[in-house]
């Protein structure tokens, strides 16, 4: 989950600050399947330093499955809500997550996988963070219980992979044209016009706009902006200055980079670069 951190560790980085981070040995077994591109990791706050995280948009739907006894608190425009497990949309708006003694499994779902695993279009997340039980009902309770009872992290990760694969076999698939359009946006790093994108899948601009928005949850233009912002955020955090970031990430100029960072992150590029931001 791309984030700003305050006194806590990033939730997807194999490094310090008291966090234990575990990923599947040899990579996930889901690669090369319908769920290609899904990423899974386990996290545990070993030193009880606490989590205080401002969520940033990224080109993936994030599922966090809580394993500990204490829920996290999700603060958004709609108020404060405790959640043991949650789902964050591609562009969830201003959201902050706080918690103590956090232990969880995090799953990153590309839109096609999210469409299959969640059982709904990412659009139905309505650009927000929702409780996993609200989407999965009793399965939103059973899976965390099974994971908490597992003896090792690798067993937990394997159980999660199996659960995701099982859900995907029963779910409706995304239109191949929409999936192809998303993959083209990612491959081009957001540097593609909607007309060119429509031509690549053989649809009119109007049809692409309608179908893509319905199944992805963002317009094609907004999706391209998000992918470009994601790359820029990683560059800024890595220490690349704003001018060079704007040039290498396909922005017309530095003011356009400033505009997008402000829209997605709610801060300037300089502020974003100075904060501890995890990268997937």
CA atoms within 13 A on the CB side of 264: 29
Q: Which domain holds residue 193?
A: 176-274
128 and 72 share one domain:
yes
35 and 155 share one domain:
yes
User: Is residue 64 domain-resident?
Assistant: yes
pLDDT for res 7: 30
CA atoms within 13 A on the CB side of 193: 3
Q: How many CB atoms lie within 10 A of CB 197?
A: 24
Compute CA 141 distance to the chain's CA centroid, rounded to the nearest angstrom.
21
192 and 98 share one domain:
no
Residue ranges of the chain whose pLDDT lies below 50:
1-15, 276-280
User: Is residue 164 domain-resident?
Assistant: yes
Residue 211 belongs to domain with CATH number: 1.10.10.60
Q: How many CB atoms lie within 10 A of CB 205?
A: 14
Q: What is the DSSP string of 221-260?
A: HHHHHHHHHHHHHHHHHTT--HHHHHHHTT-SSHHHHHHH
Q: Which residue, among 237, 238, 235, 208, has the nearest Cα to 223 in the 3D structure?
A: 208
13 and 124 share one domain:
yes
Domain boundary among 169, 196, 225: 169
Domain boundary among 115, 134, 169: 169
98 and 190 share one domain:
no
211 and 133 share one domain:
no
pLDDT for res 278: 42
pLDDT for res 62: 92
Domain boundary among 132, 150, 169: 169
Contact 211, 228 (CB under 8 A): no
pLDDT for res 172: 67
What is the DSSP-derived secondary structure letter of residue 122? G
158 and 249 share one domain:
no
125 and 204 share one domain:
no
157 and 43 share one domain:
yes
Compute CA 18 distance to the chain's CA centroid, rounded to the nearest angstrom.
23
Q: Give the count of domains, the chain.
A: 2
pLDDT for res 65: 94
pLDDT for res 16: 52
127 and 219 share one domain:
no
Whole-number CA gyration radius for the chain? 18
pLDDT for res 115: 83
Q: How many CB atoms lie within 10 A of CB 180?
A: 16
């Amino acid at each position: 989950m791309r984030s700003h951190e305050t006194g806590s560790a990033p939730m997807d980085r194999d490094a310090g600050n008291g966090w234990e981070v575990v990923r599947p040995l040899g990579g996930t077994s889901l690669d090369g399947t319908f769920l290609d591109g899904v990423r899974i990791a386990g996290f545990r706050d070993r030193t009880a330093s606490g989590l205080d995280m401002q969520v940033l948009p990224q080109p993936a739907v994030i599922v966090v499955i809580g394993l500990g006894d204490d829920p996290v608190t999700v603060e958004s425009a709609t108020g404060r809500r405790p959640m043991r497990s949650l789902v964050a949309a591609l562009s969830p708006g201003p959201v902050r997550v706080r918690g103590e003694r956090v232990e969880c499994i995090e799953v990153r779902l590309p839109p096609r996988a999210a469409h299959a695993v969640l059982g709904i279009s990412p659009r139905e997340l309505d650009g927000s963070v929702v409780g996993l039980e609200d989407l999965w009902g009793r399965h939103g309770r059973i899976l965390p219980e099974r994971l908490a009872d597992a003896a090792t992290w690798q067993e937990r990760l394997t159980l999660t992979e199996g659960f995701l694969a099982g859900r995907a076999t029963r779910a409706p698939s995304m239109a191949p044209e929409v999936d192809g359009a998303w993959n083209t946006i990612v491959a081009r790093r957001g540097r593609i016009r909607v007309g060119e994108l429509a031509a690549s899948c053989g649809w009119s601009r109007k049809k692409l706009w309608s179908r893509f928005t319905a199944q992805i949850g963002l317009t094609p233009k907004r999706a391209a902006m998000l992918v470009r912002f994601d790359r820029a955020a990683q560059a800024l955090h890595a220490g690349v200055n704003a001018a060079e970031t704007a040039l290498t990430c396909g922005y017309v100029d530095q003011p356009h980079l400033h505009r997008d960072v402000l829209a997605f992150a709610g801060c300037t590029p300089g502020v974003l670069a100075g904060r501890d931001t995890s990268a997937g």
